[in-house]
Amino acid sequence: MKLTEFSAVDFRNLRRLRLAPNPQFNIIEGRNGAGKTNVLEGIFLLSSLKTFRPGKNKDLVRFGTQSGEVRAVVEHQDTTRTIRISISPKGRRVWIDGKLVRSAASALGQLTAVLFAPEDLSLTKGSPSGRRRFLDRAIFNRWPGSLDAVKRYESALKQRNALLRTDGSDALLEVFDEQLARAALRLSQWRQKYIGIFHPILEETMQLITGGDLRTTVMYEPSRLADTHDQWVDIYRKNRRQDRARKSTTAGPHIDDICLLLNDRSAKLYASQGQHRALVLALKIAEIRLLKQELGYAPVLLLDDVSSELDARRNAQLTTFLNSEAFGGQVFITTTDRSWLDFDSKSTCFRIRDGDTSEH
Ligand SMILES: Nc1ncnc2c1ncn2[C@@H]1O[C@H](COP(=O)(O)OP(=O)(O)OP(=O)(O)O)[C@@H](O)[C@H]1O
Ligand SMILES: [Mg+2]
């Protein structure tokens, strides 16, 4: 899967930008604030219809303008598709090959992109919400249809919490518990299924990265164990009194975590600084390897300035992986200084200045 063209008009600080990407490595170089991350954000938006930074539609269009757009031409297994997203304060609209797409779901899966950003470096140390986001995003890339389960759960949870806040009736809560239970079962099944495939790949990746001196385990750590709809209904029903007191739903997939162990000890509690970095790198590389194994092709990889956060050894390992046959995908890397990057002739460098670009 490759982007052969990317353009942005009045998207963030990109006034009118157009790139003809290299099929392999694309280095996006420029000073702080030049617009490098904005380019990645535009590509990410085309893949998931969402941005990875907080931003309403009015924040996404260039200051002082009313509308903007991002567009990409994607080549994948002998087909070429053009995806365009137009943004205005009223909403986002998706066009595929010039046709307006009615349901967003059918636009998903046209472009698979994995993002690795500096925030990811706190994945193993930080709060469970970061790990849930990582997991749900990884599941979405593997099975775009899973997004529906996430959305349904989020909306059922919101409704139930609103009812708890307003002391709604038991009869209504009963209806919402049913809805939530249905969504909880589906979401936790996606998560379980993903971790089952992910675990051996992560273990192997970590061995490659650390030279095999650490045994890595990843486990799904659900807030409650339940395998059937009725069990979920039961959990929500039993928690009702407590949930009413706290005015929010205290158990369910929104409190799940993934547990990472190094030599059987919690990485979160015991891993060293260097082990954390190795593990984060392994999580990302394993996510990509899983997609390649399961889908048969590598996703487009977006690397946002990670070189400055990883140490020299991890940078070298990342570069080796990216150059290897095992990956073979297209990469977009932002950096303020490309001297550390070693991709020889397979790369194109785009210099970004004030949202504008020159190729060299
Ligand atoms: N809607 C918008 N309109 C115009 N400019 C915007 C908008 N949203 C953000 N910007 C500006 O875009 C600029 C570039 O942002 P970006 O995050 O892409 O920079 P960067 O090149 O990645 O910098 P760094 O190296 O510091 O990460 C910022 O100065 C920001 O203020
Ligand atoms: Mg940036």
Domains of the chain: 1-112+299-360 (3.40.50.300), 124-296 (1.20.1050.90)
Atom 30 (ligand 1): residue with closest C-alpha?
Answer: 33
Ligand 1 mean position to 32 CA, how many Å?
8
What pLDDT, in 10s, does the model give residues 221-240? 999 889 999 999 999 999 99
Spatial contact of 278 and 284, defined as CB atoms under 8 Å apart:
no
**Using 50, 70 and 90 to split pLDDT, how confident is the model at 131?**
very high
Q: Which ligand is nearest to the CA of 17?
A: 1
Spatial contact of 35 and 354, defined as CB atoms under 8 Å apart:
yes
**Mean of the pLDDT values across residues 36-46?**
96
What pLDDT, in 10s, does the model give residues 307-342? 777 788 888 888 888 888 888 899 999 998 877 777
- pLDDT given for residue 157 in this prediction: 97
Q: Which ligand is nearest to the CA of 30?
A: 1
Spatial contact of 183 and 149, defined as CB atoms under 8 Å apart:
yes
| Phi then psi dihedrals of residue 350, to 5 deg | -110, 125
Q: How far apart are CA 319 and CA 301, in angstroms?
A: 12
Maximum distance among all alpha carbons in the chain?
67
Q: How far apart are CA 32 and CA 305, in angstroms?
A: 11
Its sign, for the CA torsion 237, 238, 241, 246, is negative
b/e map 272-294, b = 16+ CB within 10 Å: eeebbbbbbbbbbbbbbbbbbee
State the chain's mean pLDDT as an integer: 92
Atom 18 (ligand 1): residue with closest C-alpha?
Answer: 35
Checking if the pLDDT of 63 tops 80, the result is: yes
Which two structure tokens, joined as six digits, stand for 156? Answer: 């059922």
Atom 29 (ligand 1): residue with closest C-alpha?
Answer: 33
Mutate-to-test residue for ligand 1 from 27, 28, 38, highest number of ligand atoms within 8 A of CB: 38
Mutate-to-test residue for ligand 1 from 13, 62, 332, 356, highest number of ligand atoms within 8 A of CB: 13
Which residue type occupies 302? Answer: L
**Residue corresponding to tokens 């249809």:** 145
Q: How far apart are CA 135 and CA 223, in angstroms?
A: 15
Checking if the pLDDT of 219 tops 70, the result is: yes
Please list, in sequence order, all residues whose beta carbon lies within 8 angstroms of the beta carbon of residue 139, skipping any fewer than 6 positions away. 146, 190, 191, 194
Checking if the pLDDT of 199 tops 80, the result is: yes
Q: 0.75 cut: is pTM over it? A: yes
**Residue corresponding to tokens 């989020």:** 154
Pocket of ligand 1 (CB under 6 A): 12-13, 30, 32-38, 59, 61-63, 305, 334, 336
Q: Which ligand is nearest to the CA of 68?
A: 1
Atom 5 (ligand 1): residue with closest C-alpha?
Answer: 13
